[in-house]
Amino acid sequence: AEPVWAKSGLLRSMLHADGLLRIPAQTEGVLEGEPGEIWLL
């Protein structure tokens, strides 16, 4: 997968994505290779 870099919640960016990665609110982000929850679109 290739990330689509954009600001959080921008509809145009989300339309170009194949899925969304859930990043919990209490975290600052995710590290490369770290497992995560992905919602396929």
Domain boundaries, the chain: 11-40
Residues 6+ apart with CB under 8 A from 6: 12, 13
Structure confidence by residue, pLDDT tens digits, 1-41 = 677 777 776 777 777 788 888 888 898 888 888 998 989 98
List the one residue out of 3, 1, 4 whose CA is nearest residue 12. 4
List the one residue out of 38, 32, 7 whose CA is nearest residue 20. 38
List the one residue out of 32, 36, 34 whose CA is nearest residue 19. 36
| pTM score | 0.54
pLDDT recorded at residue 25? 87
pLDDT recorded at residue 35? 92
Strands (E) in 1-41, as ranges, are: 19-22, 37-40
